[in-house]
Structures are given as structure tokens and as C-alpha cells.
């Protein structure tokens, strides 16, 4: 079967031959009776519905909770490919943490003229009260998700760094559980690296980041969620459950005696490490948004005085907006002294006059994104947009050019999905998950593969109708 | 354990119990109505609404007590905020809240049953579907309890869940008994007279005790025996005495694990002394209604004290 549109297909080469990574899987797949595959495909849907693996969609009364579609054909990466990726990811994550430290301390990179100061001043995620403060262990981003896309056999690009609160790890884990439940024989035939110890790795990594006030014993780790109506609540509960940590909400927490404490049935108990899934601006109503009930009044004072570790550190988001992204090659070089192992996607900063002119001339071929946007909102995909949409976007771009970046539409790789008519190629991306602690950088072999379920579509976001796949890293 | 999580477990099981008891009450009424004339049937449905404390809300929406209208109001009525569909939604959202303290077996049992019940109650429930809907609600209780018993650590969470179950169950049994007593006995002089055995049988059905009672009493249906059974027989899992015993055990275990006895235990002791040595004659003598009103008030006070003792709220 041929992908048939010139893009790199992960499973088949241009002549329809199966690539080596998929050799064993393909053999297995072809042995399965079609009716068996059809039945399994229905079963997968039921499994997810029963286990309640949903995400919430805001602003839709009836469909408050939605299922992320799951495709049962795995995305497969060889051990050699993964080693290369890991090195690149590790280098990048190390640079991100050094960069964040520098930004909130001496700002050497700005002094050296390698990063314009306006990017910091204009950055909405910048937190003045992190200036001069060093988080426990010197770590800013403890949990990172690096979004990658592939365009060829040896060509991976970083599309985005998610340094503040990357989500999706629960889907990585549940996708694997579902696959192992449905096709146990497959896993006994093919050696696939395990991802299921991620929660233990996360717990260990967080526990290694205790604050100065930690009194010894077993550190108390808690996950802070905005609550059951948050779109990622399932993931918050899942991770807390798997880590054996408490899942807390702002209303459970109070500052008592200089520590952040949770209200238990036998009184208040101090928390050492808080894995928060609440945005900076809601974290502390005394410091940030005074109307927020999601956070903990006074937590920033406790944090600054060494009473708690917050993961990821407040102010981390400054490193993952899209204007900073465009400087990542310089950032990696500046802090590691090495050439970046993983390239960026070419990016035009619309704040720059020449770039803006180029972007305006080539809108129909480009993807234009909001610097602070996320989740596939507020973007223009030139090639699939109508003339009218392009013109409407042009007006926005001219009005606030500094708010946008543009990238070429990449020839994103495809990976087959299962359909009633057999395998069909769809575009995919990949988000590996990275843990950072004073003990080191730990990358779980796998990640979340998101897949555009509509033919030809490049949009893989779950909020925009994308699905997910199990991601396999083969054992050597 | 977080106070909020304890609260979530407590209410998850209260709502689960409430949904199940409501289904039993409707099933008993349905059976009753099918075997009686229209007038008696109407009185029957009226008593269901009264037992559930929904008289005002129901009368605001309906002029007459017709079976289809009543069960639809109870199960899914939009002007009845405590309808069974909502109750089961509350079971599920409390389970979500306490997700880290229940096993995936329990969560899946809740989630699957919620999906089924939500679908069954999405549209008006007609004559042909009501039996299936009620059975599904009852089965949900059984399945969740089964998953819970088989997979949950016997720690605080378990006892909070059980406390919710028995507070609610005692409340339900007492209400059913009280309502029937009022309807059946216009005055005390009726005690011991030949009562409508069908009505009393319906009390037994509502508390899932008809078969057991007949077996214990060789089929003799009479008021004294039934009151004794539903109030005092501590072998019967829906009796007031059984619920009190179970609740006493829960509170004892919680006090031990927290190393402190709270107000709930004190209230429990006081309530306990009033039931453990009573005979059915003494109950009738002092007034069954007065006894039940007192029981319900104490049950509610214990529930409030549990919430305070264990910091359910900020």
C-alpha cells in the first residue's frame, strides 16, 4: 500500500514495501482475519468509554465529556532512531532549564546580544517575582513534552516545546494498556520498550526535588488540579492515583505555619512537592489573579522561602512561547556549546519587518500561529484555508504582527490508521515525555502520537478532532 | 486522606443508596398499583411522592397521581432536582472526585452503570421500559457494592463509604415505615387491628425484605411483626438496628485510626442506647411515628457531625 502523496510514510516506502520498523507488526497484521480486526476496533472504543478516559470540552452543554478517538495501528520507532531522538531531546531540555535560570538571574543571553530583550518584556508568561529566586535543585521545568514531527527517514523537527504543563501522558499509558489488553500475542512476538513505569519515574523524579523545608522521611507529593470540570481532570486523577499521591484542589490547601498544608480528615498535613496542573496566574490569588479560587493564597511566599517545591516552576512558560521557540537553536548553542541535534522548523517572526513582508506574500503556503496560542486555536493553515479565511487572517496579522510567527507547511509524515476499508495514511506528530530532577533527565521510551483522523488534514489536536495511537520504541 | 475525598466517598455511597432505595420503592408501588383499583393505585403513587419528600414539587408540575407521571417525575423530572438520573450523575461525579481512593473496578462499575442508566432515563420512561430501568438502577447498587467489597483497602475511605451507605439506608427505611404508618393508621386505636396486609407487604418489598420476612414468620403478615423486623431485627441488612450497628462499627474504626473520638461517636452512643434495649411494644406504646421522627433527626445529626469531625469542608 502506498501513501501515494509524496509524504514520508512511517510504515511503507514509496514502492509500497513495508519499512523495517514495521516488518514484524505487518506480518502479524496480515495474519489476522479481517473480522477479528473489525471486532477489536469496536472493542477499543468500548474500553475507553468504560474506563472513562475522556477529556472535557468547554462550552458544549451536552457533550461535556468526550472520548479521544484511538487508532489501533501502532506508530513504531526503531531503537536506533530513538537513541538519536533522545540525545537531541536531552540536549534541548538541558538548554531550556539553563535558559530559564539565566532569564531569572543575570540574563547573560540578552547581554550577549543573542536574544532581544523585548521578547522578555513582552512575554505574558514572565513572572517578575521569580527574578533572583532559584527553585529547589535549580530546576524550572520538571515535566516537559517536546512535540516532534517527521518529514523523512532521518528528519525529525521540533515543532514546539511544552515546558509549562504538558498533558497527554495518561493517553500514552492508557493506549498501551488498551493495546496490551486487546493484542497480548503481539507483545509477546515483538519487543517493545515499556512505558508503564512512567508514574513511578514521575514520583521518583518529583520526590528528588524536595524543598529546603523538607524534614526527611518520605516526601509528601501532591497533584494540584483545578477540579473535575477541567479538560485534563482524568489525567490529573490518573497520575495521582498511579503515583500514590494525593489529588488536591485549591480549597484543600492552606498556608499554615509557613508551609502549604492539605486538609486531611485528621488535620492539616504539609506538602513537600506540588505537581501543579493549574496555570501560573491562578496559582496564588494574593500574587496573581485575585479572583481565582483554584490556587492557594500565600503559596508564592512559601515557595520563595523554601517551604515547597512547585513543579513546574512558576514563570516557566516564558520558555515555551512561539517567539522564544524561534530562538531555540541559538539558545541550545549558547548554553550547551553544541550544535542543536534536533532542528527547529524554519520560523518567520512577524515582528520582524522583512519576515512579515515575506509572510504576507506567501500566506497561502504558510502556517501562521499566535505566539501565545495553544491547542490549535488562533492559527491559519494556508494551504487548506479559503481565500476569505486568508484575507481575514491577513488583517489580524497586519494589526498585531508581533503576535504571530509563521512556518512552512511541512511534508508531515503519515502513519496508517485502521479504517473499514483497510489501512489508510494519516498525518502524525509525536510528543515524548521528559522528566527532570537533580538526579538527571529521564525520557520515557515512547510518547503520545497524535493523528489527524481526517484525510489530508494536518491538525492533530484533540480539541480539533484528532486522535491518538500507541507509540512503540522497539527493543534492540 | 483529604477531607474533601472523604466527603466524596461518603456522598458517592449516599447517592448510590438513595438511587437504589428509590428504585425499590417505585418497584413496590408499581406492583401494588398493578394489582389494585385506580383509586388505591393513586393513593399508592401519592404515598411514594410523599415518602420521597417531593409532594410540593410534584404538585407544582402535575394535577393527578398517575403512575407514568409519578415514576417519570421521580426518575427524570426536570423540575425534580433530586431525580434518579441526577442522583446517579452525583454518584459518578463524587466517584470522579474520589477517583484516587477507589479502585478501577469500582470506578468502572460506576461509570458503566451511569452510562446505562443515563441512557435509559434520557427519554420518558413508558410502561414497557419502567421495569428494565428500575432493575438497572438496583443492579447498579449491587455491582458497585460488589466491586467495592472485593477490591477496596479496609482503611478510612472504606469506612467513610460505609458510613454514607448506612446513614442513607437507615434514613430510607425509617421514612418508608413512617409514611406507611401514617397512611395506614389514622389513629392509634388501629394498632393491632386487621390492617391492609397488601400495604404492609409493600413496606417489606420497599425494603427488600418480603421474602426473608415471610420465611421468618411463616407467611404471617402483621404490623407488629413487620415493625419489629424493620426496626429491631439486626440480622436484616436494611433494618434500623442493623444500620446502626454497622454505622457504630464504621465510626469506631475511624476513631481508632484517627486516634480521637469525635462528636459523631458521642451522638451515636446516645442514639444507640435508645434503640438497643427497646421492644416493639414499647415502640408502639410511645408512638411509632414519634420514634421514627426522633430516629431520623438523630441519623441526620450524626451525618452532620461526621462531616465536622473529619473536616469534609473547608
DSSP state of B186: S
Cβ neighbours of residue B233 closer than 8 Å, sequence gap 6 or more: B239, B241, B242
pLDDT above 80 for B182: no
pLDDT at A242 over 60: yes
> CB count, 10 Å around CB of A164?
24
Residue A436 and residue A141 in contact, taking contact as beta carbons nearer than 8 Å: yes
Helices B127-151, B3-34: axis angle to 10 degrees equals 140
Q: For the residues B205-232, what does the mean pLDDT come to?
A: 88
Q: Kindly state the cell numbers that stand for A427.
A: 498525518
Please state, for a pLDDT cut of 90, what percent of chain A lies above it.
73
Q: Which residues are registered as beta bridge partners of A221? A: A273
pLDDT band at A433 (very low <50, low <70, confident <90, very high): very high
Give residues with Cβ within 8 angstroms of A354, minimum separation 6.
none
Strands A273-276 and A309-311: parallel
**Nearest chain B Cα distance for residue A376, angstroms:** 28
Partners of B115 on chain A (C-beta within 8 Å) are: 49-50
Determine the pLDDT at residue A4.
44
Positive or negative, the Cα torsion across A70, A73, A75, A78? positive
- Average per-residue pLDDT in chain A? 91
Q: Do A262 and B115 touch (CB under 8 A)?
A: no
Pick the residue of B100, B122, B310 with the most A CBs within 10 A to test the interface with A by mutation: B100
- Residue A432, by phi and psi: left (phi above 0), alpha (psi -120 to 50) or beta? beta
Q: What is the pLDDT of residue A456?
A: 78
pLDDT digits (tens, 9 = 90+) for B262-308: 999 999 999 988 888 889 999 988 888 999 999 999 999 999 999 99
Place of cell 511503507: A12
Identify the CA nearest to A277 among candidates A132, A142, A430. Answer: A142
Q: Are A70 and A42 in contact (CB under 8 A)?
A: no
Three-state DSSP at B2 gives strand
Beta carbons of B1 and A247 less than 8 Å apart: no
CB-CB under 8 Å, B111 with A51: yes
Q: pLDDT band for A22, please (50, 70, 90 cuts).
A: very high
| B96 lies within 8 A of chain A by CB | yes
Higher pLDDT, B142 or A165: B142
Return the SS3 of B164: helix
Q: How far is B148 from chain A, CA to nearest CA, in Å?
A: 16
What pLDDT is attached to residue B149? Answer: 96
> Given pLDDT bands bounded at 50, 70 and 90, which one contains residue A62?
very low
Judging contacts by C-beta atoms under 8 Å, the chain B residues touching residue A241 are 99-100
Q: Whole-angstrom Cα distance, residue A84 to residue A76?
A: 15
* A68 Cβ neighbours under 8 A, 6+ residues apart: A48, A53, A54, A55, A171, A462, A466, A467, A468
B314 in reach of chain A (CB within 8 A): yes
User: Sorting pLDDT into bands at 50, 70 and 90, what band is A377?
Assistant: low
Residue B229 has pLDDT above 60, yes or no: yes
Answer whether residue A458 shows pLDDT above 60: yes
CA within 13 Å, CB half, A400 = 10
Nearest to B111 by CA among B144, B81, B86, B83: B144
Provide the pLDDT for residue B68.
Answer: 96
Q: For residues B248, B249, B250 and B254, what is the CA-based torsion angle, rounded to 10 degrees?
A: 100
Among A3-7, A433-437, B268-272, name the most confident range: A433-437
Question: A228, B96: Cβ pair inside 8 Å?
Answer: yes
Q: What is the pLDDT of residue A146?
A: 96
Residue B254 CB partners (closer than 8 Å, separation 6+): A265, B156, B159, B160, B163, B310
> Quick one: pLDDT band at residue B224, thresholds 50, 70, 90?
confident
The pLDDT of residue B43 is: 84
Instruction: Using pLDDT thresholds of 50, 70 and 90, give the confidence band for residue A372.
Output: confident
CB atoms within 10 A of CB B36: 15
Sequence-ordered list of residues with C-beta below 8 angstroms from that of A201, at least 6 positions apart, any chain: A435, A442, A444
Contacts of A254 in chain B (CB under 8 A): 314
pLDDT computed for residue A1 by the predictor: 35
Report pLDDT digits (tens) over A141-176: 999 999 999 999 999 999 999 999 899 999 999 999
Question: What ipTM does the predicted assembly reach?
Answer: 0.87
Please say if the pLDDT value at position A382 is more than 50: yes
Q: Which of A78, A75, A74, A73 is nearest to A21 (CA)?
A: A78
Question: Which of A46, A52, A230, A269 to substitute to test the interface with B, most B CBs within 10 Å?
Answer: A52
Q: Which residues of A touch B4 (CB under 8 A)?
A: 249, 251-252, 263
Instruction: Give the pLDDT band (50/70/90) at residue A61.
Output: very low
Query: Is the confidence at residue B186, as pLDDT, over 90?
Result: no
**Mean pLDDT score of chain B, rounded to an integer?**
91
Interatomic CA distance for residues A1 and A17, integer angstroms: 8
**Of A213-227, A449-463, B13-27, which gets the smallest average pLDDT?**
A449-463
Chain A residue numbers touching B111 (CB-CB < 8 A): 50-52
Percent of all residues in chain A with a pLDDT value above 70, rounded to a whole number = 94
Q: Give the C-alpha separation, A50 to A52, whole Å.
A: 5
pLDDT band at A462 (very low <50, low <70, confident <90, very high): low
Confidence of residue A373 (pLDDT cuts 50, 70, 90): low
| Average pLDDT over every residue of A97-122 | 93
The least confident of A179-188, A268-277, A394-403, B130-139 is A394-403
Q: How confident is the model at residue B170 (pLDDT cuts 50, 70, 90)?
A: very high
The answer on pLDDT for A127 being more than 90 is: yes
Residue of A nearest to B311 (CA): A265
The pLDDT of residue A3 is 38
For chain B, report the end-to-end CA distance as a whole number of angstroms.
14
Query: What pLDDT score was predicted for residue B272?
Result: 86
Mean pLDDT confidence for A200-215: 96
pLDDT of residue A2: 36
Contacts of A285 (CB under 8 A, 6+ apart): A291, A292, A293, A295, A297
The DSSP output letter for B231 is: I
Over residues B20-41, the mean pLDDT reads 87
Residue A63 banded pLDDT, cuts 50, 70, 90: very low
Nearest chain A CA: its distance from B97 CA (Å): 7
Query: Minimal Cα–Cα distance from A461 to chain B, Å?
Result: 25
Q: How far is residue A255's CA from residue A388's CA, in Å, rounded to a whole number?
A: 53
Distance CA A190, CA A474 (A): 8
pLDDT band per the 50, 70, 90 thresholds, residue A460: confident
What integer pLDDT is reported at residue B198 of this predicted model?
74
Cα B311 from Cα A268, distance rounded (Å):
10
Q: Chain A residue with minimal CA distance to B257?
A: A266
Q: What is the mean pLDDT of residues A330-347?
A: 96
Q: How many beta-carbon pairs below 8 A join chains A and B?
A: 65
DSSP-derived pairing of the beta strands A221-224 and A246-248 = parallel
Amino acid at each position: 500500500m502506498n501513501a501515494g502523496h509524496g509524504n514520508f510514510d512511517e510504515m511503507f516506502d514509496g514502492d509500497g514495501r513495508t519499512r523495517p520498523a514495521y516488518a514484524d507488526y505487518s506480518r502479524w497484521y496480515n495474519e489476522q482475519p479481517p473480522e477479528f480486526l473489525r471486532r477489536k476496533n469496536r472493542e477499543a472504543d468500548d474500553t475507553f468509554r468504560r474506563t472513562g478516559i475522556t477529556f472535557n470540552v468547554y462550552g458544549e452543554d451536552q457533550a461535556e465529556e468526550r472520548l479521544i478517538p484511538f487508532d489501533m495501528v501502532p506508530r513504531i520507532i526503531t531503537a536506533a532512531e530513538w537513541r538519536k531522538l533522545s540525545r537531541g531531546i536531552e540536549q534541548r531540555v538541558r538548554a531550556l532549564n539553563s535558559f530559564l535560570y539565566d532569564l531569572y538571574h543575570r540574563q547573560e543571553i540578552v547581554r550577549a546580544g543573542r536574544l532581544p530583550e523585548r521578547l522578555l518584556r513582552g512575554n505574558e508568561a514572565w513572572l517578575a517575582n521569580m527574578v533572583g529566586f532559584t527553585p529547589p535543585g535549580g530546576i524550572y521545568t520538571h515535566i516537559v513534552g517536546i512535540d516532534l514531527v517527521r518529514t523523512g527517514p532521518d528528519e525529525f523537527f521540533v515543532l514546539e516545546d511544552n515546558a509549562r504543563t504538558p498533558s497527554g501522558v495518561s493517553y500514552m499509558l492508557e493506549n498501551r494498556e488498551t493495546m496490551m489488553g486487546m493484542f497480548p500475542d503481539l507483545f509477546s512476538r515483538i519487543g517493545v520498550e515499556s512505558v508503564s513505569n512512567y508514574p513511578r519515574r514521575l514520583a521518583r523524579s518529583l520526590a528528588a526535588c524536595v524543598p529546603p523545608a523538607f524534614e526527611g522521611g518520605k516526601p509528601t507529593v501532591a497533584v494540584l488540579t483545578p477540579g473535575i470540570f477541567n479538560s485534563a481532570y482524568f489525567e490529573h486523577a490518573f497520575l495521582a492515583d498511579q503515583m500514590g499521591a494525593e489529588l488536591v484542589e485549591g480549597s484543600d490547601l492552606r498556608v499554615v505555619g509557613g508551609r502549604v498544608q492539605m486538609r486531611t480528615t485528621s488535620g492539616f498535613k504539609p506538602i513537600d512537592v506540588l505537581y501543579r496542573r493549574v496555570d501560573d496566574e491562578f496559582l496564588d490569588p494574593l500574587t496573581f489573579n485575585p479572583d481565582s479560587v483554584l490556587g492557594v493564597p500565600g503559596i508564592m511566599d512559601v515557595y520563595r522561602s523554601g517551604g515547597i517545591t512547585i513543579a513546574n516552576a512558576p514563570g516557566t512558560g516564558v520558555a515555551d512561547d512561539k517567539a522564544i521557540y524561534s530562538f531555540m537553536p541559538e539558545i541550545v548553542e549558547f548554553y550547551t556549546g553544541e550544535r542543536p541535534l534536533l532542528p527547529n522548523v524554519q520560523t518567520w517572526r512577524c515582528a520582524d519587518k522583512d519576515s512579515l513582508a515575506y509572510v504576507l506574500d506567501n500566506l497561502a503556503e504558510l502556517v501562521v500561529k499566535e505566539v501565545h496560542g495553544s491547542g490549535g486555536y488562533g492559527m491559519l493553515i494556508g494551504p487548506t484555508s479559503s481565500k476569505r479565511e486568508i484575507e481575514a487572517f491577513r488583517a489580524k496579522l497586519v494589526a498585531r504582527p508581533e503576535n504571530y510567527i509563521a512556518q512552512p507547511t511541512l511534508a508531515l509524515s503519515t502513519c496508517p490508521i485502521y479504517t473499514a476499508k483497510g489501512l489508510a495514511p494519516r498525518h502524525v506528530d509525536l510528543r515524548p515525555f521528559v522528566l527532570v530532577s537533580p538526579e538527571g533527565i529521564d525520557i520515557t521510551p515512547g510518547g503520545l502520537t497524535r493523528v489527524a483522523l481526517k484525510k489530508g488534514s494536518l491538525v492533530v489536536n484533540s480539541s480539533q478532532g484528532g486522535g491518538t495511537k500507541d507509540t512503540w520504541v522497539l527493543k534492540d | 486522606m483529604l477531607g474533601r475525598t472523604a466527603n466524596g466517598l461518603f456522598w458517592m455511597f449516599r447517592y448510590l443508596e438513595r438511587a437504589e432505595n428509590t428504585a425499590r420503592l417505585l418497584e413496590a408501588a408499581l406492583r401494588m398499583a398493578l394489582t389494585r383499583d385506580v383509586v388505591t393505585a393513586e393513593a399508592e403513587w401519592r404515598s411514594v411522592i410523599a415518602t420521597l419528600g417531593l409532594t410540593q414539587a410534584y404538585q407544582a408540575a402535575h394535577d393527578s397521581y398517575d403512575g407514568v407521571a409519578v415514576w417519570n417525575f421521580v426518575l427524570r423530572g426536570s423540575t425534580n432536582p433530586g431525580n434518579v438520573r441526577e442522583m446517579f450523575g452525583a454518584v459518578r461525579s463524587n466517584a470522579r472526585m474520589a477517583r484516587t481512593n477507589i479502585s478501577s473496578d469500582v470506578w468502572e462499575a460506576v461509570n458503566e452503570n451511569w452510562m446505562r442508566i443515563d441512557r435509559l432515563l434520557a427519554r420518558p420512561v413508558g410502561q414497557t421500559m419502567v421495569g428494565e430501568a428500575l432493575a438497572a438502577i438496583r443492579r447498579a447498587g449491587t455491582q458497585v457494592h460488589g466491586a467495592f467489597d472485593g477490591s477496596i483497602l479496609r482503611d478510612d475511605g472504606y469506612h467513610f463509604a460505609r458510613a454514607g451507605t448506612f446513614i442513607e439506608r437507615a434514613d430510607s427505611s425509617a421514612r418508608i415505615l413512617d409514611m406507611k404508618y401514617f397512611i395506614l393508621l389514622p389513629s392509634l386505636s388501629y394498632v393491632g387491628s386487621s390492617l391492609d396486609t397488601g400495604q404492609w407487604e409493600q413496606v417489606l418489598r420497599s425494603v427488600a425484605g418480603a421474602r426473608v420476612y415471610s420465611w421468618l414468620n411463616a407467611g404471617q403478615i402483621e404490623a407488629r411483626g413487620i415493625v419489629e423486623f424493620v426496626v429491631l431485627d439486626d440480622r436484616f441488612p436494611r433494618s434500623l438496628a442493623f444500620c446502626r450497628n454497622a454505622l457504630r462499627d464504621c465510626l469506631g474504626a475511624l476513631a481508632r485510626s484517627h486516634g480521637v473520638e469525635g462528636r459523631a461517636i458521642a451522638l451515636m452512643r446516645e442514639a444507640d442506647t435508645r434503640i438497643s434495649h427497646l421492644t416493639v411494644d414499647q415502640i408502639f406504646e410511645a408512638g411509632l411515628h414519634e420514634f421514627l421522627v426522633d430516629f431520623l433527626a438523630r441519623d441526620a445529626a450524626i451525618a452532620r457531625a461526621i462531616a465536622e469531625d473529619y473536616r469534609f469542608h473547608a
